[in-house]
C-alpha cells in the first residue's frame, strides 16, 4: 500500500488538489510492480463509478467482482494465476475508492515481464470510464470500453 500512502500524504499537503476528486467521473488506477516471479498490482477503483457497474458493497464482494473482471495471460494466450490478496475501502482526497492488492503469477516457464493485462472492471458498464495503467511512476496506457486488453513488455525495463 506504499503507493496509496504516498497518494494520501501528497493530498494532505496539496490542499488545492482536493478539488480533483470533486471531479464526477474519476478513473481507476492500476499500479504494476514487477518482481522476479510475479507481478503485484495495486488497484484503485472509484466508489462512484463502481456503483454503476456492480452491486459489490464490501471487500468480499469486491474481491469476487475483481476476480471476474481482472486477469492476465501470456502473449500466446496462456492464463496467469490471479490472487486477490486484499480489498478494502479507502478515501483519497475527497474521493472514495475501493483498493485491492492483486498478485499475478505467470504459468511455468513464461517470462514475468511480458503479459497481456486484462481489465474491464467498471468499463464493462461505464462508457467514459478509463483504467490508467502505471509502472514505476510511468503511465503505460489506458483501457476504455470496448478495449480491455493491454499488452505489456517490460523486458527492457
Partner 1 sequence: MKTSQPAFTSLALAALLACSVSGHAASSACPGPSGHGDATKVVASVEAFRTSLSPEQRRVFEKPLARTTAIEWSNLPIGVQPRTGLRIGDLDAAQAKAAHAVVEAAMSACGVKLFDEVRLADDALLPLDKRNIGWSSANYYLSVLGTPGTKAVWMLQIGGHHLAYNLTFNGALPGATPLFFGMEPLVFKVKDAQYEPLRPQTLAMMNLSKAVAGHEKATLSGTFTDVVKGVVTVPGTNGGPPRGGIDSGYPHNYPGGDTDRGVRYDALKPAEQALVRAAIESYASFPGESITRGLLASYLAPQALAATYVGVSGVADFSRRGSYVRIDGPRLWLEWIVQPAIALPDELHYHALWRDKQADYGGEALK
- Cell 494466450 belongs to which residue? 77
The verdict on 16 binding partner 1 (CB under 8 A) reads yes
Q: In terms of CB distance, is 84 or 92 closer to partner 1? A: 92
Q: In terms of CB distance, is 82 or 134 closer to partner 1? A: 134
Contact mark string toward partner 1, 118..157, x via CB under 8 A:
------xxxxxxx-x-x--xxx--x-xxxx----------
The verdict on 100 binding partner 1 (CB under 8 A) reads no
Whole-number Å distance between alpha carbons of 31 and 117: 12
Q: How many residues bind partner 1 (CB under 8 A)?
A: 43
Contact mark string toward partner 1, 52..81, x via CB under 8 A:
xx----------------------------
* Stretch binding partner 1 (CB under 8 A), from 12-20, 54-62, 69-77, 98-106: 12-20
Strands 138-144 and 70-73: unpaired
Helix (H) or strand (E) holding 40: strand 39-46
Is the Cβ–Cβ distance between 19 and 29 less than 8 Å?
no
The Cβ-side half-sphere exposure at 103, using a 13 Å CA radius, reads 8
3 state SS for 74-103: CCCCCECEEEEEEEEEEEECCEEEEEEEEE
Q: In terms of CB distance, is 20 or 110 closer to partner 1? A: 20
The verdict on 22 binding partner 1 (CB under 8 A) reads yes
Angle, vertex CA 42, rays to CA 54 and CA 119, nearest 5: 50
In the complex, the residues that contact partner 1 under the rule CB under 8 A are: 2-3, 6-7, 10-11, 14-20, 22-27, 29, 31, 48-49, 52-53, 93, 124-130, 132, 134, 137-139, 142, 144-147
Amino acid at each position: 500500500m506504499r503507493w496509496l500512502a504516498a497518494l494520501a500524504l501528497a493530498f494532505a499537503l496539496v490542499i488545492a488538489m482536493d478539488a480533483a476528486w470533486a471531479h464526477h467521473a474519476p478513473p481507476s488506477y492500476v499500479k504494476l510492480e514487477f518482481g522476479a516471479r510475479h507481478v503485484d498490482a495495486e488497484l484503485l477503483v472509484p466508489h462512484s463509478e463502481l456503483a454503476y457497474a456492480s452491486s459489490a458493497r464490501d471487500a468480499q464482494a469486491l474481491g469476487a467482482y475483481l476476480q471476474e473482471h481482472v486477469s492476465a495471460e501470456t502473449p500466446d494466450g496462456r492464463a496467469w494465476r490471479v490472487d486477490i490478496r486484499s480489498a478494502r475501502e479507502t478515501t483519497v482526497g475527497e474521493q472514495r475508492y475501493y483498493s485491492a492488492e492483486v498478485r499475478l503469477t505467470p504459468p511455468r516457464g513464461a517470462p514475468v515481464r511480458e503479459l497481456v493485462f486484462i481489465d474491464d472492471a467498471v468499463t464493462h458498464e461505464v462508457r467514459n470510464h478509463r483504467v490508467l495503467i502505471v509502472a514505476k511512476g510511468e503511465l503505460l496506457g489506458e483501457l476504455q470500453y470496448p478495449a480491455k486488453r493491454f499488452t505489456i513488455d517490460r523486458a527492457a525495463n
